[in-house]
Amino acid sequence: MPDERMTGQRIAAAEQKLATLALAEQERDDSHFWTGEYYNEGMDGSFDKLKEECGVFGVFGHEEAAALSFYGLHALQHRGEESAGICTTVDGSDFFIHKGMGLVKEVFDNDRIASLKGSTAIGHVRYSTSGASLIANAQPLHFQFRHGHIAIATNGNIVNAEEIREELEEAGSIFQTTSDTEVLVHLIARARGIPMEDAVKPALQKVSGGYAFLIMVNDKLVVARDPHGLRPLAMGTIDGAYVFASETCAFETIGAEYLRDIEPGEMLVFDKDGGMQTDRIAPIERRAICAMEYIYFSRPDSDLDGINLHAARKRMGVQLAKESFVDADVVTGVPDSSISAAIGFAEQTGIPYELGMIKNRYTGRTFIQPSQELRERGVKMKLSAVRKVVEGKRVVMIDDSIVRGTTSLRIVKMLRDAGAKEVHVRISSPPYANPCFYGIDTPSRGDLIASSHTVEEIRRAIDADSLHFLSKDGLLSAIGRVPGEYNRGMCTGCFDNDYPTRVPADADSCGC
Ligand code: SF4
Protein backbone atom coordinates (compact mmCIF):
# COMPACT_ATOMS: atom_id res chain seq x y z
CA MET A 1 0.00 0.00 0.00
CA PRO A 2 1.27 3.48 -0.75
CA ASP A 3 2.60 5.32 2.28
CA GLU A 4 0.24 8.23 2.68
CA ARG A 5 2.73 10.08 4.89
CA MET A 6 5.10 10.42 2.02
CA THR A 7 5.32 13.90 0.67
CA GLY A 8 5.92 15.03 -2.85
CA GLN A 9 8.99 16.86 -1.61
CA ARG A 10 10.60 13.69 -0.31
CA ILE A 11 9.96 11.89 -3.58
CA ALA A 12 11.36 14.81 -5.52
CA ALA A 13 14.45 14.73 -3.28
CA ALA A 14 14.84 10.98 -3.83
CA GLU A 15 14.57 11.42 -7.56
CA GLN A 16 17.05 14.27 -7.47
CA LYS A 17 19.44 12.09 -5.50
CA LEU A 18 19.05 9.24 -7.95
CA ALA A 19 19.72 11.62 -10.83
CA THR A 20 22.88 12.90 -9.11
CA LEU A 21 24.09 9.40 -8.41
CA ALA A 22 23.39 8.31 -11.98
CA LEU A 23 25.44 11.24 -13.21
CA ALA A 24 28.27 10.33 -10.84
CA GLU A 25 28.15 6.82 -12.25
CA GLN A 26 28.47 8.10 -15.79
CA GLU A 27 31.37 10.30 -14.87
CA ARG A 28 33.39 7.63 -13.12
CA ASP A 29 36.76 6.72 -14.43
CA ASP A 30 36.48 3.47 -16.34
CA SER A 31 39.76 2.04 -15.14
CA HIS A 32 38.02 -0.36 -12.80
CA PHE A 33 35.75 -1.99 -15.33
CA TRP A 34 35.28 -5.59 -14.54
CA THR A 35 35.79 -8.08 -17.27
CA GLY A 36 34.84 -10.97 -15.02
CA GLU A 37 31.93 -13.32 -15.22
CA TYR A 38 29.24 -11.30 -13.55
CA TYR A 39 28.57 -7.60 -13.47
CA ASN A 40 30.31 -4.77 -15.15
CA GLU A 41 30.28 -1.34 -13.72
CA GLY A 42 27.62 1.00 -14.99
CA MET A 43 24.44 0.06 -16.76
CA ASP A 44 24.17 -3.42 -15.37
CA GLY A 45 25.06 -2.29 -11.99
CA SER A 46 28.41 -2.94 -10.42
CA PHE A 47 28.60 0.71 -9.34
CA ASP A 48 25.25 0.12 -7.71
CA LYS A 49 26.13 -3.40 -6.58
CA LEU A 50 27.78 -4.51 -3.42
CA LYS A 51 31.34 -5.45 -4.17
CA GLU A 52 32.53 -8.94 -3.41
CA GLU A 53 35.19 -8.96 -0.78
CA CYS A 54 38.11 -11.24 -1.69
CA GLY A 55 38.81 -14.83 -2.51
CA VAL A 56 41.47 -17.10 -1.03
CA PHE A 57 42.92 -20.37 -2.26
CA GLY A 58 45.55 -22.56 -0.63
CA VAL A 59 47.43 -25.81 -1.22
CA PHE A 60 49.37 -27.97 1.19
CA GLY A 61 51.50 -30.87 -0.04
CA HIS A 62 51.25 -30.78 -3.84
CA GLU A 63 54.16 -30.44 -6.26
CA GLU A 64 52.07 -28.26 -8.53
CA ALA A 65 50.92 -25.94 -5.76
CA ALA A 66 51.37 -22.72 -7.77
CA ALA A 67 49.60 -24.01 -10.89
CA LEU A 68 46.68 -25.35 -8.84
CA SER A 69 46.46 -21.97 -7.11
CA PHE A 70 46.35 -20.19 -10.46
CA TYR A 71 43.36 -22.26 -11.61
CA GLY A 72 41.69 -22.04 -8.21
CA LEU A 73 42.02 -18.26 -8.15
CA HIS A 74 40.72 -18.04 -11.69
CA ALA A 75 37.54 -19.81 -10.53
CA LEU A 76 37.28 -17.25 -7.69
CA GLN A 77 37.85 -14.23 -9.94
CA HIS A 78 34.31 -12.92 -9.35
CA ARG A 79 35.29 -12.30 -5.69
CA GLY A 80 37.93 -9.73 -6.53
CA GLU A 81 39.42 -8.42 -9.71
CA GLU A 82 41.70 -5.61 -8.62
CA SER A 83 44.75 -7.69 -7.80
CA ALA A 84 45.92 -11.28 -7.64
CA GLY A 85 48.84 -12.99 -5.97
CA ILE A 86 50.40 -16.34 -5.05
CA CYS A 87 53.06 -17.09 -2.45
CA THR A 88 54.80 -20.48 -2.22
CA THR A 89 57.46 -22.18 -0.14
CA VAL A 90 59.54 -25.30 -0.57
CA ASP A 91 60.58 -25.95 3.00
CA GLY A 92 59.61 -22.88 5.01
CA SER A 93 62.95 -21.12 4.56
CA ASP A 94 62.69 -19.89 0.96
CA PHE A 95 59.51 -18.07 0.02
CA PHE A 96 58.51 -17.15 -3.55
CA ILE A 97 55.86 -14.56 -4.27
CA HIS A 98 54.33 -12.82 -7.23
CA LYS A 99 51.41 -10.46 -7.22
CA GLY A 100 50.10 -7.66 -9.38
CA MET A 101 47.16 -5.46 -10.20
CA GLY A 102 44.58 -6.96 -12.54
CA LEU A 103 42.89 -10.25 -13.26
CA VAL A 104 44.51 -13.60 -12.46
CA LYS A 105 45.17 -14.32 -16.14
CA GLU A 106 46.79 -10.89 -16.53
CA VAL A 107 49.05 -11.18 -13.49
CA PHE A 108 50.36 -14.70 -14.16
CA ASP A 109 51.83 -16.52 -17.14
CA ASN A 110 53.61 -19.87 -17.47
CA ASP A 111 57.01 -18.46 -16.54
CA ARG A 112 55.66 -16.76 -13.44
CA ILE A 113 53.95 -19.93 -12.30
CA ALA A 114 57.10 -21.98 -12.93
CA SER A 115 59.11 -19.56 -10.78
CA LEU A 116 56.84 -20.15 -7.77
CA LYS A 117 58.46 -23.28 -6.37
CA GLY A 118 57.25 -25.49 -3.59
CA SER A 119 54.41 -27.69 -2.48
CA THR A 120 52.69 -25.17 -0.18
CA ALA A 121 50.93 -22.15 -1.64
CA ILE A 122 48.45 -19.49 -0.69
CA GLY A 123 46.73 -17.25 -3.24
CA HIS A 124 44.44 -14.30 -3.23
CA VAL A 125 42.17 -12.24 -5.45
CA ARG A 126 41.26 -8.87 -4.05
CA TYR A 127 38.71 -6.21 -4.22
CA SER A 128 39.81 -3.53 -1.78
CA THR A 129 37.40 -3.49 1.13
CA SER A 130 39.89 -2.16 3.63
CA GLY A 131 42.94 -0.26 2.55
CA ALA A 132 43.41 1.50 -0.74
CA SER A 133 43.60 -0.15 -4.13
CA LEU A 134 47.39 -0.30 -4.23
CA ILE A 135 49.94 -2.93 -5.15
CA ALA A 136 51.29 -2.62 -1.58
CA ASN A 137 47.92 -3.89 -0.33
CA ALA A 138 47.71 -6.74 -2.84
CA GLN A 139 47.87 -10.11 -1.10
CA PRO A 140 49.32 -12.46 -0.05
CA LEU A 141 51.28 -10.19 2.27
CA HIS A 142 54.76 -11.56 2.99
CA PHE A 143 57.11 -10.51 5.80
CA GLN A 144 60.49 -11.77 6.91
CA PHE A 145 61.30 -11.49 10.60
CA ARG A 146 64.19 -12.56 12.82
CA HIS A 147 62.34 -15.80 13.54
CA GLY A 148 61.30 -16.57 10.01
CA HIS A 149 58.65 -15.85 7.39
CA ILE A 150 54.94 -15.10 7.50
CA ALA A 151 52.72 -14.92 4.42
CA ILE A 152 49.02 -14.27 4.77
CA ALA A 153 45.93 -14.19 2.56
CA THR A 154 42.56 -13.19 3.90
CA ASN A 155 38.94 -12.80 2.94
CA GLY A 156 36.96 -10.50 5.19
CA ASN A 157 37.52 -7.58 7.50
CA ILE A 158 38.92 -7.12 10.99
CA VAL A 159 36.45 -4.84 12.75
CA ASN A 160 38.86 -3.77 15.52
CA ALA A 161 41.89 -3.36 13.22
CA GLU A 162 42.20 0.39 13.74
CA GLU A 163 42.17 0.07 17.52
CA ILE A 164 44.86 -2.66 17.44
CA ARG A 165 46.91 -0.78 14.89
CA GLU A 166 47.01 2.34 17.08
CA GLU A 167 48.18 0.27 20.05
CA LEU A 168 50.84 -1.44 17.95
CA GLU A 169 52.09 1.81 16.45
CA GLU A 170 52.35 3.33 19.90
CA ALA A 171 54.43 0.29 20.86
CA GLY A 172 56.77 0.88 17.91
CA SER A 173 55.36 -1.21 15.05
CA ILE A 174 55.88 0.21 11.57
CA PHE A 175 53.21 -0.81 9.09
CA GLN A 176 54.02 -1.40 5.43
CA THR A 177 50.45 -1.38 4.11
CA THR A 178 47.10 0.15 4.94
CA SER A 179 45.48 -3.30 4.90
CA ASP A 180 43.69 -4.44 8.07
CA THR A 181 45.31 -7.86 7.62
CA GLU A 182 48.74 -6.55 8.55
CA VAL A 183 47.69 -6.04 12.18
CA LEU A 184 47.46 -9.81 12.57
CA VAL A 185 50.99 -10.23 11.23
CA HIS A 186 52.33 -7.72 13.78
CA LEU A 187 50.46 -9.44 16.58
CA ILE A 188 52.07 -12.75 15.57
CA ALA A 189 55.55 -11.31 15.09
CA ARG A 190 55.58 -9.38 18.39
CA ALA A 191 54.79 -12.38 20.57
CA ARG A 192 57.60 -12.97 23.06
CA GLY A 193 58.89 -16.26 24.37
CA ILE A 194 57.04 -18.56 21.98
CA PRO A 195 57.74 -19.65 18.39
CA MET A 196 55.85 -17.62 15.77
CA GLU A 197 53.81 -20.69 14.86
CA ASP A 198 52.41 -20.80 18.39
CA ALA A 199 51.65 -17.07 18.36
CA VAL A 200 48.99 -17.38 15.66
CA LYS A 201 46.20 -18.59 17.93
CA PRO A 202 46.54 -15.86 20.60
CA ALA A 203 46.81 -13.28 17.80
CA LEU A 204 43.60 -14.56 16.21
CA GLN A 205 41.91 -14.36 19.60
CA LYS A 206 42.62 -10.61 19.71
CA VAL A 207 40.97 -9.75 16.40
CA SER A 208 37.25 -9.49 15.84
CA GLY A 209 35.28 -9.52 12.61
CA GLY A 210 34.47 -11.78 9.71
CA TYR A 211 37.43 -13.57 8.15
CA ALA A 212 38.92 -16.61 6.49
CA PHE A 213 42.71 -16.68 6.88
CA LEU A 214 45.37 -18.75 5.14
CA ILE A 215 48.70 -18.15 6.90
CA MET A 216 52.08 -19.63 6.07
CA VAL A 217 54.36 -19.42 9.11
CA ASN A 218 57.75 -20.86 8.18
CA ASP A 219 57.01 -24.45 7.12
CA LYS A 220 53.49 -24.59 8.57
CA LEU A 221 50.18 -23.66 7.02
CA VAL A 222 47.47 -22.31 9.33
CA VAL A 223 43.86 -22.17 8.15
CA ALA A 224 41.31 -20.28 10.25
CA ARG A 225 37.71 -19.05 10.08
CA ASP A 226 36.15 -16.45 12.37
CA PRO A 227 34.10 -17.67 15.35
CA HIS A 228 30.80 -16.73 13.67
CA GLY A 229 31.68 -18.26 10.32
CA LEU A 230 30.78 -15.00 8.57
CA ARG A 231 33.04 -15.62 5.60
CA PRO A 232 33.08 -19.00 3.87
CA LEU A 233 36.03 -21.38 3.70
CA ALA A 234 36.04 -24.97 2.48
CA MET A 235 38.60 -27.77 2.43
CA GLY A 236 39.15 -30.32 -0.32
CA THR A 237 41.71 -32.87 -1.42
CA ILE A 238 43.56 -33.71 -4.61
CA ASP A 239 46.24 -36.38 -5.12
CA GLY A 240 46.56 -36.75 -1.35
CA ALA A 241 47.18 -33.01 -0.85
CA TYR A 242 44.88 -30.55 0.92
CA VAL A 243 43.34 -27.57 -0.82
CA PHE A 244 41.34 -24.67 0.62
CA ALA A 245 39.04 -22.19 -1.09
CA SER A 246 36.52 -19.48 -0.40
CA GLU A 247 34.09 -21.36 -2.62
CA THR A 248 33.73 -24.95 -3.70
CA CYS A 249 33.55 -24.00 -7.40
CA ALA A 250 37.36 -23.74 -7.23
CA PHE A 251 37.57 -27.46 -6.31
CA GLU A 252 35.47 -28.41 -9.35
CA THR A 253 37.81 -26.39 -11.55
CA ILE A 254 40.97 -28.21 -10.44
CA GLY A 255 39.36 -31.64 -10.09
CA ALA A 256 39.64 -31.74 -6.29
CA GLU A 257 37.20 -33.52 -4.02
CA TYR A 258 35.31 -31.43 -1.46
CA LEU A 259 35.92 -32.66 2.08
CA ARG A 260 34.11 -30.20 4.37
CA ASP A 261 33.68 -26.57 5.36
CA ILE A 262 36.04 -25.18 7.99
CA GLU A 263 33.96 -24.76 11.14
CA PRO A 264 33.33 -21.30 12.62
CA GLY A 265 36.15 -20.59 15.08
CA GLU A 266 38.19 -23.54 13.86
CA MET A 267 41.92 -23.36 13.29
CA LEU A 268 43.82 -26.09 11.43
CA VAL A 269 47.60 -26.34 11.47
CA PHE A 270 49.42 -28.40 8.82
CA ASP A 271 53.06 -29.26 9.33
CA LYS A 272 55.73 -30.53 6.94
CA ASP A 273 55.35 -34.13 8.08
CA GLY A 274 51.82 -34.07 6.72
CA GLY A 275 50.19 -33.84 10.12
CA MET A 276 46.99 -31.87 10.63
CA GLN A 277 46.13 -30.51 14.08
CA THR A 278 42.69 -29.12 14.72
CA ASP A 279 42.22 -26.41 17.30
CA ARG A 280 39.71 -23.70 18.14
CA ILE A 281 40.13 -19.95 18.32
CA ALA A 282 36.90 -19.69 20.29
CA PRO A 283 33.75 -21.66 20.92
CA ILE A 284 30.98 -21.10 18.35
CA GLU A 285 28.95 -18.26 19.82
CA ARG A 286 26.40 -17.69 17.13
CA ARG A 287 26.77 -19.14 13.66
CA ALA A 288 26.30 -16.27 11.28
CA ILE A 289 27.35 -16.93 7.71
CA CYS A 290 26.78 -13.93 5.45
CA ALA A 291 23.29 -14.05 3.91
CA MET A 292 24.52 -12.08 0.89
CA GLU A 293 26.80 -14.97 -0.04
CA TYR A 294 23.62 -16.96 -0.70
CA ILE A 295 21.79 -14.09 -2.38
CA TYR A 296 24.45 -12.68 -4.64
CA PHE A 297 28.18 -13.05 -3.93
CA SER A 298 29.01 -16.71 -4.42
CA ARG A 299 28.88 -18.46 -7.75
CA PRO A 300 25.70 -20.47 -8.43
CA ASP A 301 27.72 -23.67 -8.88
CA SER A 302 29.24 -23.36 -5.40
CA ASP A 303 27.85 -25.01 -2.26
CA LEU A 304 27.99 -23.18 1.07
CA ASP A 305 27.67 -25.35 4.14
CA GLY A 306 26.24 -28.04 1.87
CA ILE A 307 23.64 -25.78 0.23
CA ASN A 308 23.89 -25.23 -3.51
CA LEU A 309 23.65 -21.56 -4.43
CA HIS A 310 21.61 -21.97 -7.60
CA ALA A 311 19.07 -24.11 -5.75
CA ALA A 312 18.87 -21.66 -2.84
CA ARG A 313 18.35 -18.70 -5.20
CA LYS A 314 15.65 -20.60 -7.06
CA ARG A 315 13.85 -21.19 -3.76
CA MET A 316 14.14 -17.45 -3.04
CA GLY A 317 12.33 -16.83 -6.34
CA VAL A 318 9.63 -19.35 -5.41
CA GLN A 319 9.16 -17.69 -2.02
CA LEU A 320 9.13 -14.23 -3.58
CA ALA A 321 6.34 -15.36 -5.91
CA LYS A 322 4.35 -16.66 -2.94
CA GLU A 323 4.77 -13.34 -1.15
CA SER A 324 4.18 -11.00 -4.07
CA PHE A 325 2.31 -12.58 -6.97
CA VAL A 326 1.47 -10.24 -9.81
CA ASP A 327 -0.46 -10.96 -12.98
CA ALA A 328 2.03 -10.58 -15.84
CA ASP A 329 3.05 -11.98 -19.23
CA VAL A 330 6.73 -12.68 -18.77
CA VAL A 331 9.36 -13.07 -16.01
CA THR A 332 12.96 -12.05 -16.58
CA GLY A 333 16.03 -11.81 -14.36
CA VAL A 334 18.90 -9.32 -14.41
CA PRO A 335 21.84 -11.39 -15.67
CA ASP A 336 23.63 -13.27 -14.24
CA SER A 337 23.05 -13.42 -10.51
CA SER A 338 19.24 -13.03 -10.62
CA ILE A 339 18.49 -15.66 -13.22
CA SER A 340 18.13 -18.53 -10.72
CA ALA A 341 15.59 -16.54 -8.66
CA ALA A 342 13.72 -15.54 -11.84
CA ILE A 343 13.42 -19.21 -12.85
CA GLY A 344 11.98 -20.00 -9.40
CA PHE A 345 9.52 -17.11 -9.62
CA ALA A 346 8.37 -18.27 -13.06
CA GLU A 347 7.97 -21.89 -11.95
CA GLN A 348 5.88 -20.89 -8.96
CA THR A 349 3.60 -18.47 -10.83
CA GLY A 350 3.33 -20.32 -14.14
CA ILE A 351 4.31 -17.10 -15.94
CA PRO A 352 6.87 -17.97 -18.63
CA TYR A 353 10.53 -17.19 -17.93
CA GLU A 354 12.18 -15.40 -20.82
CA LEU A 355 15.56 -13.91 -21.57
CA GLY A 356 14.39 -10.32 -21.44
CA MET A 357 17.85 -8.82 -20.98
CA ILE A 358 21.23 -9.70 -22.44
CA LYS A 359 24.58 -8.83 -20.98
CA ASN A 360 27.49 -8.01 -23.23
CA ARG A 361 30.35 -10.11 -21.87
CA TYR A 362 33.01 -8.49 -24.03
CA THR A 363 33.16 -5.11 -22.37
CA GLY A 364 36.85 -4.76 -21.67
CA ARG A 365 38.93 -2.34 -19.69
CA THR A 366 39.82 -0.05 -22.53
CA PHE A 367 36.73 0.43 -24.63
CA ILE A 368 35.65 3.86 -25.78
CA GLN A 369 33.04 5.30 -23.44
CA PRO A 370 30.04 6.77 -25.23
CA SER A 371 29.77 10.52 -24.95
CA GLN A 372 27.05 12.05 -22.83
CA GLU A 373 25.09 12.76 -25.98
CA LEU A 374 25.32 9.17 -27.20
CA ARG A 375 24.34 7.95 -23.76
CA GLU A 376 21.27 10.10 -23.84
CA ARG A 377 20.44 8.63 -27.23
CA GLY A 378 20.48 5.22 -25.61
CA VAL A 379 23.88 3.70 -26.34
CA LYS A 380 24.16 0.77 -23.98
CA MET A 381 27.46 -0.96 -23.43
CA LYS A 382 26.65 -3.75 -21.06
CA LEU A 383 23.01 -4.62 -20.78
CA SER A 384 20.32 -4.58 -23.43
CA ALA A 385 16.63 -5.42 -23.40
CA VAL A 386 15.38 -8.06 -25.85
CA ARG A 387 12.69 -5.99 -27.53
CA LYS A 388 10.82 -8.94 -29.06
CA VAL A 389 10.49 -10.49 -25.60
CA VAL A 390 9.28 -7.47 -23.66
CA GLU A 391 7.45 -5.32 -26.22
CA GLY A 392 3.79 -4.88 -25.32
CA LYS A 393 4.22 -7.19 -22.30
CA ARG A 394 3.64 -6.88 -18.58
CA VAL A 395 7.14 -7.75 -17.36
CA VAL A 396 8.23 -9.04 -13.94
CA MET A 397 11.88 -8.05 -13.51
CA ILE A 398 13.76 -9.97 -10.80
CA ASP A 399 16.92 -8.56 -9.25
CA ASP A 400 18.88 -9.69 -6.19
CA SER A 401 19.18 -6.35 -4.38
CA ILE A 402 18.75 -2.60 -4.58
CA VAL A 403 21.65 -0.64 -3.16
CA ARG A 404 21.46 2.98 -4.27
CA GLY A 405 18.58 2.55 -6.69
CA THR A 406 20.34 4.01 -9.70
CA THR A 407 20.62 0.75 -11.59
CA SER A 408 17.03 -0.30 -10.97
CA LEU A 409 15.84 3.05 -12.31
CA ARG A 410 17.89 2.61 -15.46
CA ILE A 411 16.86 -1.00 -16.04
CA VAL A 412 13.18 -0.15 -15.63
CA LYS A 413 13.63 2.68 -18.12
CA MET A 414 15.46 0.36 -20.52
CA LEU A 415 12.59 -2.15 -20.42
CA ARG A 416 10.01 0.60 -20.94
CA ASP A 417 12.04 2.03 -23.84
CA ALA A 418 11.96 -1.46 -25.37
CA GLY A 419 8.17 -1.39 -25.24
CA ALA A 420 7.31 -3.09 -21.93
CA LYS A 421 3.72 -2.15 -21.00
CA GLU A 422 4.29 -2.62 -17.26
CA VAL A 423 7.45 -3.31 -15.23
CA HIS A 424 6.97 -5.04 -11.88
CA VAL A 425 10.20 -5.25 -9.86
CA ARG A 426 10.74 -8.13 -7.45
CA ILE A 427 13.86 -8.28 -5.29
CA SER A 428 15.08 -11.63 -3.94
CA SER A 429 16.36 -10.13 -0.67
CA PRO A 430 15.01 -7.80 2.02
CA PRO A 431 15.74 -4.06 1.71
CA TYR A 432 19.50 -3.46 2.14
CA ALA A 433 19.42 -0.67 4.70
CA ASN A 434 22.60 -0.95 6.78
CA PRO A 435 26.32 -1.09 5.99
CA CYS A 436 28.41 -4.23 6.26
CA PHE A 437 31.44 -4.36 8.57
CA TYR A 438 32.69 -7.78 7.53
CA GLY A 439 34.47 -7.24 4.26
CA ILE A 440 31.72 -6.23 1.86
CA ASP A 441 32.19 -2.84 0.27
CA THR A 442 28.95 -0.99 0.92
CA PRO A 443 28.22 2.68 0.42
CA SER A 444 27.68 4.73 3.55
CA ARG A 445 24.27 4.41 5.15
CA GLY A 446 23.09 7.69 3.62
CA ASP A 447 23.60 6.30 0.11
CA LEU A 448 21.63 3.11 0.75
CA ILE A 449 18.22 4.03 -0.59
CA ALA A 450 16.42 1.61 1.74
CA SER A 451 17.93 3.25 4.82
CA SER A 452 15.77 6.33 4.43
CA HIS A 453 12.94 5.44 2.05
CA THR A 454 9.85 3.28 2.30
CA VAL A 455 9.22 0.57 -0.27
CA GLU A 456 6.61 2.80 -1.91
CA GLU A 457 9.07 5.70 -2.08
CA ILE A 458 11.65 3.42 -3.69
CA ARG A 459 9.05 2.16 -6.15
CA ARG A 460 8.29 5.69 -7.23
CA ALA A 461 11.96 6.62 -7.38
CA ILE A 462 12.80 3.70 -9.70
CA ASP A 463 9.59 4.22 -11.69
CA ALA A 464 8.31 0.65 -11.32
CA ASP A 465 4.63 -0.28 -11.57
CA SER A 466 5.03 -2.35 -8.42
CA LEU A 467 7.91 -3.29 -6.14
CA HIS A 468 8.31 -6.05 -3.55
CA PHE A 469 11.25 -7.28 -1.53
CA LEU A 470 11.58 -10.82 -0.19
CA SER A 471 10.83 -10.88 3.55
CA LYS A 472 13.61 -11.81 5.96
CA ASP A 473 11.65 -14.83 7.17
CA GLY A 474 11.08 -15.85 3.55
CA LEU A 475 14.78 -15.49 2.81
CA LEU A 476 15.86 -17.63 5.75
CA SER A 477 13.38 -20.37 4.99
CA ALA A 478 14.37 -20.34 1.29
CA ILE A 479 18.04 -20.72 2.15
CA GLY A 480 17.04 -23.49 4.50
CA ARG A 481 19.92 -23.28 6.94
CA VAL A 482 17.98 -23.04 10.18
CA PRO A 483 14.27 -23.32 9.47
CA GLY A 484 12.23 -21.71 12.21
CA GLU A 485 15.22 -20.32 14.09
CA TYR A 486 15.63 -16.89 12.70
CA ASN A 487 18.83 -15.02 13.15
CA ARG A 488 20.62 -18.10 14.28
CA GLY A 489 22.91 -19.45 11.68
CA MET A 490 23.00 -16.44 9.44
CA CYS A 491 24.14 -12.82 9.46
CA THR A 492 21.39 -10.46 8.35
CA GLY A 493 22.95 -7.25 9.70
CA CYS A 494 22.57 -5.29 6.49
CA PHE A 495 18.83 -5.99 6.51
CA ASP A 496 17.93 -5.70 10.19
CA ASN A 497 20.91 -3.95 11.85
CA ASP A 498 21.45 -7.08 13.99
CA TYR A 499 25.19 -7.76 13.70
CA PRO A 500 26.81 -10.83 15.23
CA THR A 501 29.74 -8.84 16.67
CA ARG A 502 30.25 -5.44 18.22
CA VAL A 503 30.50 -2.89 15.41
CA PRO A 504 31.68 0.71 15.58
CA ALA A 505 28.83 2.56 17.27
CA ASP A 506 28.96 5.75 15.25
CA ALA A 507 30.10 4.33 11.92
CA ASP A 508 27.80 4.64 8.99
CA SER A 509 30.03 2.54 6.78
CA CYS A 510 32.85 0.08 7.31
CA GLY A 511 35.36 2.53 5.93
CA CYS A 512 35.94 0.23 2.98
S1 SF4 B 1 26.07 -7.41 7.12
FE2 SF4 B 1 25.11 -8.25 5.24
S3 SF4 B 1 26.77 -8.31 3.71
FE4 SF4 B 1 27.74 -8.07 5.75
S5 SF4 B 1 28.21 -10.16 6.44
FE6 SF4 B 1 26.20 -9.62 7.26
S7 SF4 B 1 24.74 -10.39 5.70
FE8 SF4 B 1 26.75 -10.30 4.73
Edge-to-edge strands of the sheet including 466-469? Answer: 330-333, 394-399, 422-427, 466-469
Question: What pLDDT is stored for residue 287 in this prediction?
Answer: 85
Q: How much distance in Å is there from the Cα of 496 to the middle of ligand 1?
A: 10
* Ligand 1 atom nearest residue 293's Cα: 8
Question: What pLDDT is stored for residue 444 in this prediction?
Answer: 81
- Residue pair 373/395 in contact (Cβ under 8 Å)? The answer is no
Residues with CB under 6 A from ligand 1: 210, 230, 290-292, 436, 438, 440, 491-494
| Antiparallel, parallel or unpaired: β 234-238 and 241-245 | antiparallel
- Residue pair 41/30 in contact (Cβ under 8 Å)? The answer is yes
Question: What pLDDT is stored for residue 133 in this prediction?
Answer: 62
What's the distance, CA 466 to chain centroid? Answer: 28
* Ligand 1 atom nearest residue 435's Cα: 1
Q: Give the DSSP letter string of 224-242.
A: EE-TT--S--EEEEETTEE
CA distance 4 to 288: 37
Q: How much distance in Å is there from the Cα of 375 to the middle of ligand 1?
A: 34
Q: Give the DSSP letter string of 68-120.
A: HHHHHHHHTGGG--SEEEEEEESSSS-EEEEEEES-HHHH--HHHHHHS-SSE
**Ligand 1, atom 4: nearest CA belongs to which residue?**
436
**Ligand 1, atom 5: nearest CA belongs to which residue?**
290
Question: Where would I find the H helices in 255-308?
Answer: 291-292
**Ligand 1, atom 8: nearest CA belongs to which residue?**
290
Element (H, E) at 511: none
Q: How much distance in Å is there from the Cα of 438 to the middle of ligand 1?
A: 7
* Ligand 1 atom nearest residue 490's Cα: 7
CA distance 225 to 142: 20
Q: State which residues of the chain have pLDDT below 70.
A: 1-49, 51-52, 128-133, 361-370, 372, 375-381, 482-488, 505-512
Question: What pLDDT is stored for residue 241 in this prediction?
Answer: 96
Q: Which of 54, 87, 510, 512 is catalytic?
A: 54
Question: What pLDDT is stored for residue 275 in this prediction?
Answer: 86
CA distance 200 to 184: 8
Q: Which of the listed residues 79, 211, 230, 481 should we mutate to test ligand 1's pocket, taking the one with most ligand atoms within 8 A of CB?
A: 230
Q: How much distance in Å is there from the Cα of 19 to the middle of ligand 1?
A: 27
Q: Which of the listed residues 448, 492, 496 should we mutate to test ligand 1's pocket, taking the one with most ligand atoms within 8 A of CB?
A: 492
Q: How much distance in Å is there from the Cα of 290 to the middle of ligand 1?
A: 5
Q: How much distance in Å is there from the Cα of 436 to the middle of ligand 1?
A: 5
DSSP state of 446: G
Q: How much distance in Å is there from the Cα of 332 to the middle of ligand 1?
A: 26
Q: Which of the listed residues 440, 479, 498, 510 should we mutate to test ligand 1's pocket, taking the one with most ligand atoms within 8 A of CB?
A: 440
* Ligand 1 atom nearest residue 437's Cα: 4
Respond yes or no: is residue 54 known to be catalytic: yes
Q: How much distance in Å is there from the Cα of 50 to the middle of ligand 1?
A: 10
* Ligand 1 atom nearest residue 493's Cα: 1
> Taking the model in full, what pTM does it have?
0.87
* Ligand 1 atom nearest residue 231's Cα: 5
Residue 359: how many other CB atoms lie within 10 Å: 17
Residue 63: how many other CB atoms lie within 10 Å: 13
**Ligand 1, atom 2: nearest CA belongs to which residue?**
494
Question: What pLDDT is stored for residue 5 in this prediction?
Answer: 39
Question: Angle 309-323/472-479 helices, nearest 10 degrees?
Answer: 140
Question: What pLDDT is stored for residue 190 in this prediction?
Answer: 86
Residue 307: how many other CB atoms lie within 10 Å: 15
* Ligand 1 atom nearest residue 230's Cα: 5
Q: Which of the listed residues 292, 501, 503 should we mutate to test ligand 1's pocket, taking the one with most ligand atoms within 8 A of CB?
A: 292
